[in-house]
Amino acid sequence: MPAKIICGKEIAQEIRAELRPEVEKLKARGVTPGLAVVLVGGDPASQVYVRMKGRACEETGMLSETVRLPETTSEDELLATVDRLNGDPKIHGMIVQLPVPSHIDANKVLRRIDPRKDVDGFHLENVGKVAIGDDSGFAPATPAGVQQMLLRSGVETSGAHAVIVGRSNIVGRPMASLLLQKGNGGDATVTVCHSRTKNIGDVTRSADILIVAIGRAQFVTGDMVRPGAVVIDVGVNRVDDPSTDKGYKLVGDVDFDAASEVASAITPVPGGVGPMTVAMLLYNTVQAAQRWAAT
């Protein structure tokens, strides 16, 4: 029986609908949640993503500011922009879109962001809080979105064996921390696979919940999925496809057609995790505004 489709687009719309009354409550107190996105250079994928964030903010009634800087922007100039936004009371959440040009130290920039405005959850303070289960820290939007997808789709994480393919600081590591936490959406037994994992198929086949974020097109094949497992595909890869008008198509890190014949539930690409990332970024920004309003 083909797998149930976990539609991230629908769940993201649900979350954004829940945020609107919270935004209105803040506005009634004179606070409009504001998100600033800093984009350095002209990376096409980043530009699309930034436009999506801005549109989502406006649809939710939030303030959106996009700061576009040229590829030649120096590290000091970017840090000065971050400092300005740190001090702007209208901005409650801020992200610097990655990647930044190679002459800029991304870690230095991320650590310059005020952790109270770090809605991407990449500042060391927030990373540490998420790792120890302190909910005052901002969880990175993509792992937080995956957790919400599991919760809102009725997937039981407590006692489940969750296997994460990929150990990045953006997805794999924080995803493990969230699934290990006590309470709803947590209490899982977690295994993290990476490029040095031996016999990776044996590990992935042991998963009740398989989360794949390795950045390799269709890396996980159908025979790497345990029958009945829930598969969350975080990857977005562009592959050539002469049959399409654009000459390419987007695929995930999982062979969707093969895996969907084995899994009990699976996310599509596109329309799966991507919209959730934007929704959780808005969620974090509203949380930041609520904390600011309470001070």
The 3-state DSSP class for residue 239 equals strand
DSSP 223: G
Catalytic (active site) residue 53: yes
Catalytic (active site) residue 223: no
Query: Do 163 and 179 contact (CB within 8 A), yes or no?
Result: no
Catalytic (active site) residue 120: yes
Q: What are phi and psi of 254, to 5 degrees?
A: -115, 140
Pairing of β 237-240 and β 248-251: antiparallel
Active-site entry in 4, 13, 43, 53:
53
Active-site entry in 117, 118, 120, 129:
120
- What does each C-alpha distance from 148 to 183, 227, 275, 278 come to in angstroms? 13, 23, 12, 13
b (16+ CB within 10 A) / e for 113-140: bbbbbbbbbbbebbbebbbeeeeebbbb
Secondary structure, 3-state, 41-74: CCCHHHHHHHHHHHHHHHHCCCEEEEEEECCCCC
What is the spatial distance between Cα 231 and Cα 209, in angstroms, rounded to a whole number? Answer: 6
Active-site entry in 97, 148, 181, 218:
97
Residue type, 223: D
Catalytic residues: 53, 97, 120
